[in-house]
Amino acid sequence: MSEPESSEQQAVEAKKGFSGSQVLLIVVAVFLVTVVGSILLIRTYIFPADFRPVTLSALEQEKLDTKLEVIGITVDRNSGTSSVLRAEAYSEAGASRDVSFSEKEINSLIAADPQLATKLAIDFSDDLASATMLIPLDPDFPVMGGKTVRIATGVELAFANGRPVVALKGVSIMGVPVPNAWLGNLKNVDLVSEFGADEGFWQGFADGVDEIRVRDGQLQITLKE
């Protein structure tokens, strides 16, 4: 009859490797992590959920309405309609050349459009404006027909050397960055510097902007006279 193993022998055996139950637990844990990760990936990129429309508090809405009034847009909150026409004598006296909107205000304006409310979201971070869009594909589209595609893009917005800076930072589809060549090699190119020397939109845009800044959650533009 064999002698029972000593505590030292048992310790040596334990160091040789995992027991059968430990291996089983590791396999189950890896399987669960893989399943959860796959579900999150599919949910986020393959079948993304609609965005939740942004709503403002009464005070936030009042501030936004005031900003819209400054740029000539009046909104009837009872009917939800807006108008940009006013019958009044033109005057620049006391007019502000500063235009400022928060990320939340922009997204609330988007939410006012039923077709965009759950399909487009804007983010403001330092010198960067980003947009995420959910684009439904035509049912006849190959492979992904009838599904919704998640597209994200970022644009640098800044002010340097007395000129605004506007540069495409990139575009991604389903989380995969689009090659620069497919974007016309415009990634990280300052469009104002590249095209602002010629008469056209970018020159006119640059000449009319005195300052443009994007900070965390806020867009600020100052126009020239």
Percentage with pLDDT > 70 across the chain: 68
For the chain, strand residue ranges (E) read: 74-76, 81-83, 98-102, 120-125, 128-136, 148-160, 163-173, 176-177, 209-215, 218-223
pLDDT single digits (tens) 62-115: 787 777 776 666 666 555 555 555 667 877 777 778 888 888 888 888 888 878
pLDDT at residue number 16: 53
pLDDT higher at 117 or 222: 222
pLDDT at residue number 71: 65
Mean pLDDT for 22-32 is: 62
Mean pLDDT for 114-135 is: 87
pTM for the whole thing?
A: 0.64
Residue 106 neighbours by CB distance under 10 Å: 19
Taking the C-alpha atoms of residue 153 and residue 170, their distance in angstroms, rounded to an integer, is: 6
| CA proximity to 167, closest of 195, 188, 144, 146 | 188
Confidence class of residue 125 from pLDDT cuts 50, 70 and 90?
A: very high
Mean pLDDT for 53-64 is: 80
Which tokens belong to 40? 């999150």
For the chain, give the mean pLDDT. 76
> Strand 120-125 to strand 81-83: parallel, antiparallel, or no bridges (unpaired)?
unpaired
Confidence class of residue 25 from pLDDT cuts 50, 70 and 90?
A: low
Parse the chain into domains and list their residue ranges.
Answer: 7-46, 58-223
Mean pLDDT for 117-130 is: 88
Residue 22 clears pLDDT 70, i.e. is over it: no
